[in-house]
Each structure stands twice: as structure tokens, then as C-alpha cells.
Chain A
Amino acid sequence: MDKLLEVKNMHVSFDTYGGEVQAVRGVNFSLNKGETLAIVGESGSGKSVTTKALMKLIPMPPGRIKEGEILFEGRDLAKLSEKEMQKIRGKEISMIFQDPMTSLNPTMKVGNQIAEGLIKHQKLSKSAAKSRVIELLELVGIPDPENRMKQYPHQFSGGMRQRVVVAIALACNPKLLIADEPTTALDVTIQAQILELMKDIQKKTDSGTIFITHDLGVVANVADRVAVMYAGRIVEIGTVDDIFYNPKHPYTWGLLGSMPSLDAEVSELYAIPGSPPDLLNPPKGDAFAPRNEYAMQIDREQEPPLFKVSETHYAATWLLHEHAPDIDPPEAIKKRMAAMASSDSRKGERV
């Protein structure tokens, strides 16, 4: 498999009046061509900052990439100038944003917004760009593209706007697509449509995708691999099966437990107590320790490294250390996992 992207020990900080906010504290992951990696985590865990930093879209200053490498096809994006980044943005890497109501320019025709990248990166003529725009609008399922491209965003519904946002991102056939909670602002039926659309497109274009979400249902639907982020770090990373059927990190247990289920056996919805730490002064030791009922003495003193569970599966928790006591996930979560496994095997999708 070809490695498209490799992020090594990336740190991103924001310099504020109160001090340095360490939003991302040493993130490592890689992505292959045609693969979808989902990054999950609660608000403020650093998932958006991580991906915005990949494209250097965070405001700099106050933000900065403190250290680390972002190797995209072997080139280190962290070292590129703003001018060089402009050649990569929209052409090699593009982004689908969260809120279609605000991410389109209200005073510019939709067709022009899609064509902008084409004209800039592919040096297309006006008419060539126009036919490509029509093609893209058809690809994302907008009917009557010839007329729709002459309209303004306010003449589109939310779902249709998100299709336009997708079309903008796809315009130059990027090798890497970053989707920052692309379905969060949409209602459920539209969510499903947009997810189907994105899966479809990925099959056709074979681009690598990073999918940020806090909806685990979406993860199971679209991702090949999952990275769970907490307090600016990846605490567990593995294939979808690893994360859903064999989670090792107590935080992942909590996330899975807080996912609503239609199963009658699991009636209680779990909530992780407390709130994420203040990244202005990140706590010593494991950042999750104060909320972790399985925390041990060492969790409060030393940060856990990523322990290898299998070739594909890593988790940063001292529970995986050889001297740690054997602790099973809580009963409620085990039950839930069993329920999921059985419902999946009934459908014959997995196992």
C-alpha cells in the first residue's frame, strides 16, 4: 500500500494572552491511498485543529505548528511557505467543511465558487471550467446543473449546499480529502445521502480521506481505520473492527458506551463524567486520568506510551502494561459490544 500522508509527532499551539494553549500534543498517524481514517473525540480534543494544521489553515499567528513533520507524498508540509501551500490547497489536499450554511460565499454564484479552484490550479479556460463545473454538479447529484450553477447559495437548501461544498472540494481531483464533520449540521436523512455520496465518490476517485466526526455511527459506516483523540493526543488507533469490538482504552469504552443503541437489552446511556482538561496547563501524567475510574497511580505521574495491541491496533493506556492488573471493560459496555456483534452477524455484514 502506498503511503499518502504520514504525520509524525505534530504539536500545534496557540499563543494567547493567557499563555500557550497546546491544542495538539504530539500526534502520529499515517494514511494510505484510497483509505478512510476517521478521527473521533469530543469537542476540544484537537481533531479539527489537527486537520486544519495539515493544510495550514489555522490562523497563524496566534497558531503555530510547534514541531513535527507532515509528510505528504514525502514532502514536509510543515516546512512549506504560504505561497507553496497555496499550490497544494484545493489541488492536492482539499477540505469539506462542517456548516454548509456559512461555508459558501453568499455574494458569489455557486458555479464561480466551484470554478475558482479549477481556473487557479488547472489553468482551465472559462468555458472548459464551466463544463467541468457542470460535470461536478452532476457528480454530487444536483439536478439541472446548467441553471443551478448561475444561482447563489441562498437559493439552495442545506443539503444541496453541502453537495456544492463537496463539489468545490472535489474540483481538482485532490489526492487527500479532509472532511471536517461534514454531516453534523445536516438533518438525519440528508446526512445519510451525503455519506453515501462521499463513499461513492471515494470509490470512483480513490483519494485518501480523513473524516472527522464525533458520531460513532458515522464512523462504522464510512471508515477503514479509526483514531480516537483526547486532549490533543491520539489515545487509541486501529481498524474499525479493532475499535468497535476490541477497544482497549477506557476513554474509547466511554465513547462507545455513550452511543445510543436501538437494542432493548442496553437501555442505559453512559456518560463520561467530568470534562476534558484545560490545554493551557495540560495535566501531568495521563490527561484522561481524572475522569478514568480505572486510573492507577502511574496514570497521575507519567504519560502512557502507545502500547501495541496488534499490527494495526495501538492504545495509550497503562492498563496494557504487562504489570497492570487485568481489567475488563465495564459490564454495560461489554453487553453493548456483544449486542452489536450479534446484530452485525445477523445481518452478515461483519465477522
Chain B
Amino acid sequence: MGRYITQRLVYMVITMFLIATFTFFLMKFLPGTPLSSADRLSEEQQAIVLAKYGLDEPIPVQYFNYMVNLLQGDMGVSFQFDNREVTTIILDRIGPSLQLGFQAMIIGTILGMLLGLISAIYHNGVLDYGSTFTAVLGQSIPSFVFAGILQYFVGVKLGWFPVALWGTWQHTVLPTIALAIFPLAIAARFMRTEMLEVMGSDYITTARAKGVNKFGVVFKHGVRNALIPLITVLGPLAIGLMTGTLVIENIFAVPGIGEQFVKSINTNDYPIIMGTTLFFAVFFILIVLVIDLLYGVIDPRIRLAEGE
């Protein structure tokens, strides 16, 4: 187990290196420079600023310098925010994003699973049609449309929750719902299909033949087996949430990392782009690792052999 995780961490470093390299060069293809909007500066002043940040060097040299600094844990300073360190900016901004992401993930998958479970238990009943309809809606309405609808009806018309900005827990409600609807829909549809299949399998009949009641059959024998394929989609869902936050944070003006990311792309704030990308990458890779480990917890057939 320890060896397996070490191995995965080594792969992670390699992946990070590749991502850093690709992003660096892609970023340099972005039109304009960090000074594009700084018309007030004269040519000489611009040259001084560029030299100060090492942007006057050839791109391969810039790349080399960046990687050396990165290895030492230095991600540079932001161009637009008074020379603040990238690390500090990310750390400042990460809270709201993580909170939104986790809330949406947990609420979305748990509610979605319950919805799917209800669908499967009351197969072809009114409850099944209701939850399937919800799931189809949730999957087909884009999150930014849904966000707008929430803002207008729940925020403005009903006035139950703040329309935008960040502060109290009430501020998190609407963006969380907007983010959660997609994972909810996916989890519900997946859970329904899997559960129906599991409930038709032979070992469920075996359990019933033992005299196990309906509750025991569903929860003790059914759910765990239905979860295995569901875990597979959790990874992509979590990643979808991350990209979802980019949009949702902008709509709800949440001071999160996604909102920051979009802003820095617009202003060619290279160090922030690099830092945020690398942060997202680390996050994704860790999620995938956690999901791979989760498989083993739920499905004994893919548990790693002892001593490996």
C-alpha cells in the first residue's frame, strides 16, 4: 500500500512537470503582454518593467528560470496585485472555492444517490418518474442558466438568499445549488441504472432466500455493489465541478480561485495563470488518487494485495 502510494506520487511529479511545461508555452501564445492595457507608460518605462520581471529574456530562458524557481517552491509574484506572492493569493482565494466545491460535491452526490435509489426501489412508479425527470432536467440545463434562474427567482423575487457576493453561509446557498445540480443529476441516473441491475442479480435472490427483509436487501446487499461503478464517475464529476466553479464564481461574484483565474487570463498575469493551473492540476491528481483508493475500500476484488 505504502509502495503503491509512493509510486503514484512519483507519477504525480512527472505529470506536474509536463503540465507546467505545456501551460507555460501555451500561455506565451496568449495575445498581448501584461502591459497591454498600460498605455500611460512610455516605451522605456515598459522595457524597465519587462526587464524587472525577466520578460525580456528569450522564452526558453524564461521557462528555465521559472522551473528552477518552481522547484524551490517559488511561484513568483503577481503583476496586477501589487507584487503579492502567487502562493499567498492562491491561499487567500482557495477557501471559497473549496467550500463551494465540497458542498456541491457532497450534496450533489448524496442527494443524487438517494434520488436514484428511490427511483430503483419504486421502479416505474410515480416517484421514479419524478426523480428521473429531475435528473434529466439537471443534466440538460447548463449550470450558468440554472444559476441565473436561481438568482432571479430565489434571490430577487423570493429574497430568501443573497444574490451574489461572499460572507455568511447564506451566500453559499445559491452557488452551491447551482453547482450541485449537475453531479446530482449524474449520480441519480447512474445510481438508478446500477441499482436496478444489482437488484436483478442472483445474489439478491440469495439474500431474499435467506429471509433478509427489503431494507436489508437494499442497503446491506444492494447499495454497496451499486456504488462501485458510481465511483468511476465521481472523478470526472469532481473535475467538472472545478471547471464549473470558474463559471459559477464569476456569476455569483464569489472571490474564489476560479474567478481569479479568469481575471488573470484576461490580464496576462503569467505567474497567477501558472500557479492556478498547477494548483488545479495537483487537486485533480489527488482526487483521482483518492478515488482509486476508494475502489479498494468498497470493492474487495480490487483491493491491493497485502505487502504490495
Tell me the A residues contacting B by CB distance below 8 Å.
55, 57, 82-83, 86-91, 94-95, 97, 99, 102-108, 113, 116-117, 120-121, 152, 154, 165, 168-169, 171
Chain A residues with Cβ below 8 Å from B8 are none
Closest chain A residue to B227, Cβ basis:
A107
A146 to chain B, nearest CB (A): 17
How would you classify the secondary structure of chain B's contact residues: helix, strand, loop or mixed?
helix
Tell which of B206, B209, B211 touches A104, judged by Cβ atoms closer than 8 Å.
Answer: B206
Q: How far is the CB of A37 from chain B (nearest CB, A)?
A: 19
In the complex, are the beta carbons of B301 and A154 less than 8 A apart? yes
Contacts of B205 in A (CB 8 A): 57, 97, 103
CA distance A120 to B201 in the complex (A): 22
Shortest CB–CB separation between residue B291 and chain A, in angstroms?
A: 17
Q: Given contacts A57-B208, A107-B298, are A86 and B213 in contact (CB under 8 A)?
A: yes
Some 14 contacts from A to B, beta carbons below 8 A apart, are A55-B209, A83-B213, A86-B213, A95-B209, A97-B202, A102-B203, A103-B206, A105-B203, A105-B207, A106-B225, A107-B228, A120-B210, A168-B210, A171-B210
Pick the contact of B203 from A90, A94, A106 — CB < 8 Å?
A: A106
Chain B residues, Cβ within 8 Å of A154: 300-301
Q: In the complex the two chains form, is B206's CB within 8 Å of A107's CB?
A: no
Q: Digit string of B205-243 for contact with A (CB within 8 Å is 1, else 0)? A: 111111111100000110011001000000000000000
Residues in A neighbouring B300, C-beta threshold 8 A: 106-107, 152, 154
Question: In the complex, what's the smallest C-beta–C-beta distance from B76 to chain A, in angstroms?
Answer: 48
Asked if A87 and B211 sit within 8 Å, CB to CB, the answer is yes
Contacts beyond the supplied A97-B209, A99-B202, A116-B210: 5 A-B pairs with Cβ under 8 Å: A90-B210, A105-B203, A107-B299, A108-B224, A168-B206
Q: Are A104 and B203 in contact (CB under 8 A)?
A: yes
Q: Which residue of B lies closest to A101 (CB)?
A: B202
A94 CB contact (under 8 Å) in B209, B221, B228, B299:
B209
Most buried by B among A86, A105, A116, A120: A105
Report the Cα distance A35→B242, complex, angstroms: 66
- In this complex, how many residues of chain B approach chain A with their Cβ under 8 Å: the count is 22
In the complex, A103 Cα to B205 Cα: how many Å?
A: 8
If A152-B301, A154-B301 touch, whether A116 touches B212 (CB-CB below 8 Å) is yes
CB-defined contacts of B209 to chain A, threshold 8 Å: 55, 57, 89-90, 94-95, 97, 169
| Contact between B301 and A89, CB atoms less than 8 A apart | no
Decide if A108 touches B221 in the complex (CB within 8 Å): yes
Which residues from chain A contact B203 at a C-beta distance below 8 Å? 102-106
Contacts of A152 in B (CB 8 A): 300-301
Separation of A95 and B203 alpha carbons in the complex (Å):
12
Which of B211, B221, B225 touches A86 (beta carbons < 8 Å)?
Answer: B211
Cα distance, A11 to B201, chains bound together (Å): 25
Complexed CA–CA distance, A99 and B205 (Å): 12
Most buried by B among A83, A106, A113: A106
User: How far is B208's CA from A108's CA once the two chains are assembled, in angstroms?
Assistant: 15
CB-CB under 8 A from A83, the residues of chain B are 213
Report the bound CA distance from A168 to B300 in whole Å.
20
Residues in B with CB closer than 8 Å to A97 are 202, 205-206, 209
- Nearest-Cβ distance from residue A21 to partner chain B, whole angstroms: 18
Which residues from A are CB-within-8-Å of B211? 86-91, 117, 120-121
Select from chain A the residue with minimum beta-carbon distance to B298. Answer: A107
A103–B207 alpha-carbon span in the complex (Å)? 9
Whole-angstrom CA separation of A336 from B208 in the bound complex: 43
Q: Judging by beta carbons under 8 Å apart, are A105 and B206 in contact?
A: yes
CA distance A44 to B60 in the complex (A): 74
- Complex Cα spacing A113 to B225, Å: 15
Interface string of B162-181 (1 = CB under 8 A from A): 00000000000000000000
- Distance, CA A57 to CA B113, complexed state (A): 27
In B184-210, the 8 Å CB interface with A consists of 201-203, 205-210
For A105, give its contact among B214, B221, B298 (CB under 8 Å). B221
Nearest B residue to A55 via CB reads: B209
Q: How far is the CA of A171 from the CA of B206 in the complex (A)?
A: 13
Complex CA–CA separation, A116 to B205 (angstroms): 14
Chain B residues, Cβ within 8 Å of A107:
224-225, 228, 298-300
| CB of B64, distance to nearest CB on chain A (Å) | 51
| A102 x B201 contact (CB < 8 A) | yes
Structural contact, A86 and B299, CB atoms closer than 8 A:
no
CA distance A94 to B212 in the complex (A): 12
**CA of A90 to CA of B217 in the docked complex: distance in angstroms?**
14
